[in-house]
C-alpha cells in the first residue's frame, strides 16, 4: 500500500509541506489534509482589510489546486485527538484517520485581554479570515478605532485602518510600543512618527473593562481617562493550538519540541510553524518563532523528510519587518540580548536609527528604522539581515561599524556574506514554482 502522509493544518507550514512531498514523490504517496478552514495566507489579511485585494486573493490552495496535487482534503474539520501508539488521528466529528506519518501544523489563535467586556459586540480580534471579515464589516470612514496592543500584529494592520480614513488610537500596557520588537529609543522615534501622522498613542495604559455606551464601546483604564470607540481591535497576543494533543505522548514545552529534521519526540510525527519549538539560528537554543518565514521553512523541510529525504534544518532566524505610515521598522536575531556588546546611533533628521549587537566579531542581532523611501534604509535592511543570518565573523570591520553603524555596505561585501548566502536554499536545491510537479 502507498505511504499515507497526514497534514493537520492548512496554513503556510501545511501547504508548503504538501508541495515539498509532491516535489519528491511525484504523486506516489497518499496525502490527506485536515484543516478547519480553506488554506489561506494570514500575511495578506491586512491588504484585504485595506480593500487593496479581494477576498478571493487571500486563498493559497483552491479545491482545484489540491485536486491537482492529489490531496484528499478534509476542510472545515478539526483534529480532536492523536493516538501515536496506534498511528490514528481522530477528528471532532468522530472520523478516524490512520497514518504512516503525520505533520502537526495547527498554528496559533488570537488571545483577547482578560477583561470584562472583551466579548462584547464590536470587540474584535484580527488573526483569522472570519475575524478579518468582522473587522472589514465594522470599520467605516470616520470610525474611531481603538487598538488594544501595540505589538507586531497591531502594526501590520495599522496602515490598512488609516487607509479606510478611520481615526486610530493605539493603547499598550507596556511602557513603550512594539516592546517585543524594538528598544525604548526606537519606540520613541516610532511614536513621534505616528503622532505626526495622526495616530494617537497611549502607552503604559492598563485596560480594566469595556462597557456598552449607547451603541459604542467605552474602554476604562487604571491610568488616565476613558476612551469611546466605534470599533475595538484586540491585538494582545496569540497562543499555540496544542490542546488537542493532551495525552498523545508528543513532547511539548512552549511548543512541540522538534529536532533538526522537524521530528517530534514521536519519530513519525512532525511539527512545523507556530506550534514547533525548534533551533534558533543565532542562539542555537529551542525557540518558538511564530512568523511566516519560519512556517515556510519548517513546512518544506518537514515535507521533504516525510517524503524520505534526510534533510537537516539549520534553524530559524527571529525577524520582524513592518512598515507603518512609510516608516520601515525591522529587527533581526538576538536584538534584545542583554549580554551582547551593543552600539546604537540615531540620525533624527532622516528619522533613522540603528542598533547592532555583537558576540565577539559576529553580529548576532540588529535593529533598523528609517523612512521607506530612503534608499539608505531599503538597502540596509537586507544587508543587516544577511549579516545576522550568515554568522560571518567581521574582523576589523566591527570597529568600522562601531564608528559608523550607518555604513553597512562595505562590511557586507568584504565579509563575503553574499557568496555564503546565495548558494543556500532550504531544500538544498533551487526552488520550483508552486503547483504540481509530476
Taking 60 as the threshold, does the pLDDT of residue 437 lie above it? Answer: no
Q: Say if pTM beats, i.e. exceeds, 0.75.
A: yes
> From CA 369, how far away is CA 187, in angstroms rounded?
10
Q: Return the bridge partners of 38, or none.
A: none
The pLDDT-based confidence of 8 (bands split at 50, 70, 90) is very high
pLDDT, residue 420, reads: 83
Cell matching residue 106: 495547527
- For residue 295, give Cα distances in angstroms to 50, 242, 292, 322, 378: 25, 16, 5, 18, 25
Taking 60 as the threshold, does the pLDDT of residue 431 lie above it? Answer: no
Taking 90 as the threshold, does the pLDDT of residue 435 lie above it? Answer: no
User: How does pLDDT run across 298-320, given as a tens digit for each residue?
Assistant: 999 999 999 999 999 999 999 99
The number of beta carbons lying within 10 Å of the beta carbon of residue 301 is 28
User: How does pLDDT run across 234-249, given as a tens digit for each residue?
Assistant: 999 999 999 999 999 9
CA dihedral 153, 172, 195, 125 (to 10 degrees): 40
Task: Give the CB-side neighbour count of residue 143, counting CA atoms within 13 A.
Answer: 22
The number of beta carbons lying within 10 Å of the beta carbon of residue 395 is 12
The pLDDT-based confidence of 432 (bands split at 50, 70, 90) is low
- The pLDDT mean for the chain works out to 94
User: If you search the block for the grid coordinates 501590520, which residue do you land on?
Assistant: 156
Cell matching residue 117: 467586556
Taking 60 as the threshold, does the pLDDT of residue 438 lie above it? Answer: no
Helix (H) or strand (E) holding 168: strand 167-172
Cell matching residue 239: 497562543
Dihedral class, residue 184 (left if φ above 0, else alpha if ψ from -120 to 50, else beta): alpha
The number of beta carbons lying within 10 Å of the beta carbon of residue 246 is 10
> From CA 366, how far away is CA 315, in angstroms rounded?
18
Cell matching residue 395: 574582523
User: How does pLDDT run across 254-289, given as a tens digit for each residue?
Assistant: 999 999 999 999 999 999 999 999 999 999 999 999
pLDDT, residue 417, reads: 87
Amino acid at each position: 500500500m502507498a505511504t499515507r502522509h497526514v497534514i493537520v493544518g492548512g496554513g503556510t507550514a501545511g501547504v508548503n509541506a504538501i508541495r515539498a512531498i509532491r516535489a519528491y514523490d511525484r504523486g506516489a504517496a497518499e496525502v490527506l489534509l485536515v484543516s478547519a478552514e480553506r488554506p489561506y495566507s494570514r500575511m495578506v489579511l491586512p491588504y484585504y482589510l485595506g480593500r487593496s485585494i479581494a477576498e478571493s486573493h487571500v486563498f493559497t490552495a483552491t479545491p482545484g489546486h489540491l485536486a491537482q496535487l492529489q490531496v484528499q482534503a478534509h476542510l472545515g474539520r478539526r483534529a480532536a485527538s492523536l493516538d501515536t501508539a496506534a498511528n490514528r488521528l481522530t477528528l471532532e466529528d468522530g472520523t478516524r484517520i490512520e497514518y504512516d506519518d503525520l505533520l502537526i501544523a495547527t498554528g496559533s489563535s488570537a488571545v483577547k485581554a482578560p477583561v470584562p467586556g472583551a466579548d462584547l459586540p464590536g470587540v474584535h480580534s484580527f488573526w483569522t479570515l472570519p475575524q478579518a471579515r468582522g473587522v472589514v464589516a465594522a470599520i467605516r470612514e470616520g470610525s474611531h478605532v481603538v487598538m488594544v496592543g501595540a505589538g507586531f500584529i497591531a502594526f501590520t494592520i495599522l496602515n490598512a485602518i488609516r487607509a479606510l480614513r478611520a481615526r486610530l488610537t493605539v493603547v499598550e500596557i507596556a511602557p513603550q510600543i512594539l516592546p517585543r520588537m524594538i528598544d525604548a529609543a526606537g519606540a520613541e522615534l516610532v511614536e513621534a512618527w505616528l503622532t505626526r501622522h495622526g495616530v494617537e498613542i497611549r502607552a503604559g495604559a492598563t485596560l480594566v473593562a469595556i462597557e456598552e455606551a449607547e451603541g459604542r464601546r467605552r474602554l476604562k483604564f487604571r491610568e488616565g481617562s476613558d476612551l469611546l470607540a466605534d470599533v475595538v481591535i484586540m491585538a494582545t497576543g496569540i497562543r499555540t493550538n496544542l490542546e488537542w494533543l493532551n495525552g498523545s505522548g508528543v513532547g511539548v514545552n512552549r511548543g512541540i519540541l522538534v529536532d533538526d529534521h522537524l521530528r517530534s519526540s514521536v519519530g513519525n510525527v512532525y511539527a512545523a510553524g507556530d506550534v514547533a519549538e525548534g533551533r534558533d539560528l543565532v542562539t542555537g537554543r529551542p525557540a518558538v518563532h511564530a512568523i511566516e518565514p519560519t512556517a515556510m521553512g519548517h513546512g518544506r523541510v518537514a515535507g521533504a523528510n516525510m517524503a524520505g529525504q534526510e534533510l537537516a534544518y539549520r534553524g530559524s532566524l527571529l525577524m520582524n519587518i513592518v512598515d507603518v505610515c512609510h516608516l520601515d521598522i525591522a529587527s533581526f536575531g538576538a536584538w534584545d540580548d542583554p549580554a551582547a556588546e551593543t552600539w546604537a546611533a540615531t540620525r533624527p533628521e532622516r528619522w533613522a536609527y540603528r542598533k547592532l549587537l555583537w558576540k565577539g566579531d559576529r553580529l548576532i542581532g540588529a535593529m533598523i528604522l528609517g523612512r521607506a523611501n530612503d534608499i539608505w534604509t531599503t538597502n540596509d535592511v537586507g544587508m543587516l539581515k544577511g549579516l545576522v543570518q550568515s554568522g560571518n565573523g567581521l574582523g576589523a570591520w566591527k570597529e568600522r561599524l562601531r564608528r559608523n553603524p550607518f555604513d553597512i555596505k562595505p562590511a557586507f561585501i568584504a565579509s563575503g556574506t553574499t557568496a555564503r548566502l546565495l548558494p543556500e536554499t532550504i531544500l538544498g536545491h533551487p526552488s520550483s514554482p508552486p503547483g504540481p510537479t509530476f
